[in-house]
Structure 1
Amino acid sequence: MGREKVIQMDSYRGETPKRKKRKLKKSVSRFTFATLLLLIVGMVFYISSSSSKLSMIYFEGLNYLTRSDVIKLSNIPENSKMISLDFKKISQNISEHPMVEQVSVKKENRSELVISITEKNVLGCVLQKDGYSYVLSDATLIDQTHFISQQCQGLVIYGLEEEQDTAPLTLFVKAITQMDPIFLNIIKEIRYEPIFGDSNRFSLYTIDGNTIKVNSYTMVDKLKYYQTMVDKVTELHGDLKGIYHLDVGDHFQPYSTSSNELPTTESDTSVE
């Protein structure tokens, strides 16, 4: 009876796992290579296809800025690819405009962009030497250098067209930002009227036909008493119109008794 071949089990057990590991590594490498190849092919196809291009931009929250203004600010190149857009950088570019308070840029669908903007509150306009400027709620002035079209349809400040010193206007704007918004609604026009010894004197023309003389330093506190003074004058003299002096002291002066006409103000004419 011949001797049968002897197989050493230890050697057998040690080699089989190695072979399996090598086969597994080869399979993983092939799978990884195939996956990367598919991703590369897919990326190339996507980039070369029309679906990768920015096809539409939607704008939200625009009142004073125009869509063309925002496009210029965003610095988005023509025929941009969606994959090349830096949303954070676009937001930063738009935020540099003083009219912008907040901005959000987000992708919608595969090739559309949504730009949402929150603009600062506009209190009115001021007529200066070079034209109209917006007066914002944070006391900022925006002129034509920011390529926005000023349409001054609300409160307008006159009398500063030839004024070289900007300090009186800056101080006054800071003061009106602290005023009650309800009170601002009854003012139809403001005029800068400095006098000797008081370079911060303004006249407020109200929709009820009165004029209020104020000083920028004290106007916020003194205007709190305006309605009380009006009520007292009405109680004593009826619907009598005139000038309320709140710049120095606090007293009422009726308009000239020789004429019932109120002083002519520039808001009676259209402002373009």
Structure 2
Amino acid sequence: MSEGKVVSLEDRIPKLKEQRKRKTNRRLIFLISVFFLLILLIIYFQSPLSHVNKINVGGNKTISDETIIKQSGLTKKTNVWKVNKEETAAKIKSIPEVKKASVKITFPNSIVVEITEHAKIAYISNGKKLFPVLENGKVLNKQQDNLVTNIPILTDFKKGNILNEMVEQLQQLPEEILNSISEIHYDPKKTDNYHITLYMNDGFEVSATMRTLASKIIYYPSIVSQLNPNVKGIIDLEVGSVFKAFKAEGKGKNGE
């Protein structure tokens, strides 16, 4: 090597010392940062800052926020990072009206609950009160103030096989057909224990057997379109489709 490129040991020692000093300083800064971060985390987890501050509920139409939050078991004393999302969602889903439930944690200490409710397909009357019948077949034992007005009322039905059969048929109906029915009365005959009478919103009555209701009532709009709307009567769907007008003095229960 040429004499101009030779670096003496005396010249290299200060540079090596400087490099070591920088490494030591960086390591010290890193350790101090980690230490303070751990302190902050300990303070955070021990303070109210880590507790649930807010619970936002969405998707509920008939169930109150309070009912959902109470069922979830979450309170403002709950540590947000100890919340088991799957278990909390399962608790909420145990509410009969809840079809689906999901729970999310949002920074820094909020919980978001999203639910989907079972649709109501009918109300069952006990003569004085109306109780919702859900799409999954469950009958709620509590009356609700916010009634859905476009679903049928079931009269003279009791819990059991007959009601289950009726719900199964209603589950198969298109929404426009379901919404056109005002009332369904359980009206058994000697020859047909499943006979029902439907009172439609347009003033017609339908005589049918429960077990074939879903397959036959879908033709109702087509049948009615061929009738005189000013002449109300009974449409018999038990066997075929026969129309019989009300007698002048013996009109239907809807007063038509």
Residue correspondence of structure 1 range 217-236 to structure 2 within 5 A: 217-234=211-228
Q: Secondary structure at the match of 1:141?
A: coil
Q: Which amino acid counterpart does residue 149 of structure 1 have in structure 2?
A: Q
| 2:177 alignment counterpart | 183
Distance 1:74 1:134 in 2: 23
Gaps of 5+ in 2: 1-22
Q: Does 1:174 align with 2:168?
A: yes
Determine if contact 1:74/1:94 at 8 Å carries over to the other structure.
Answer: yes
Percentage of identical aligned residues:
21
Moved more, 212-221 or 69-78: 69-78
| 1:202 alignment counterpart | 196
Q: 1:137 aligns with which of 130, 135, 138?
A: 135
Moved more, 120-129 or 199-208: 120-129
Q: Does 1:108 align with 2:130?
A: no
Q: Does 1:251 align with 2:242?
A: yes
Determine if contact 1:132/1:143 at 8 Å carries over to the other structure.
Answer: no
Q: Which amino acid counterpart does residue 144 of structure 2 have in structure 1?
A: S
Q: Secondary structure at the match of 1:214?
A: strand
| 2:253 alignment counterpart | 263
Moved more, 130-139 or 77-86: 130-139
| 1:82 alignment counterpart | 80
Determine if contact 2:50/2:81 at 8 Å carries over to the other structure.
Answer: yes
Determine if contact 2:206/2:234 at 8 Å carries over to the other structure.
Answer: yes
Q: Cα–Cα, structure 1 residues 176 and 78, in superposed 2: closer, same or farther, change >3 Å?
A: same
Cα displacement string for residues 210-254 of structure 1 (whole angstroms, at most 9, x for unaligned residues): 0111211111122233333323332xxx62101111124431121
Q: Which amino acid counterpart does residue 152 of structure 1 have in structure 2?
A: L
Cα displacement string for residues 57-76 of structure 1 (whole angstroms, at most 9, x for unaligned residues): 11111101111210122122
Q: TM-score, with normalisation over the residues of structure 2?
A: 0.77
Determine if contact 2:205/2:252 at 8 Å carries over to the other structure.
Answer: no
Moved more, 110-119 or 81-90: 81-90
Distance 2:209 2:46 in 1: 66
| 2:154 alignment counterpart | 157
Give 1:32 deviation, angstroms. Answer: 8.9
Distance 1:138 1:59 in 2: 23
Q: Secondary structure at the match of 1:64?
A: coil
Give 1:90 deviation, angstroms. Answer: 0.7
Moved more, 216-225 or 55-64: 216-225
| 1:213 alignment counterpart | 207
Determine if contact 2:131/2:144 at 8 Å carries over to the other structure.
Answer: no
Q: Secondary structure at the match of 2:219?
A: helix
| 1:7 alignment counterpart | none
**Over the residues paired in the alignment, what is the CA RMSD in angstroms?**
2.9
Determine if contact 1:242/1:253 at 8 Å carries over to the other structure.
Answer: yes
Give 1:97 deviation, angstroms. Answer: 2.3
Q: TM-score, with normalisation over the residues of structure 1?
A: 0.73
Q: Secondary structure at the match of 1:91?
A: helix
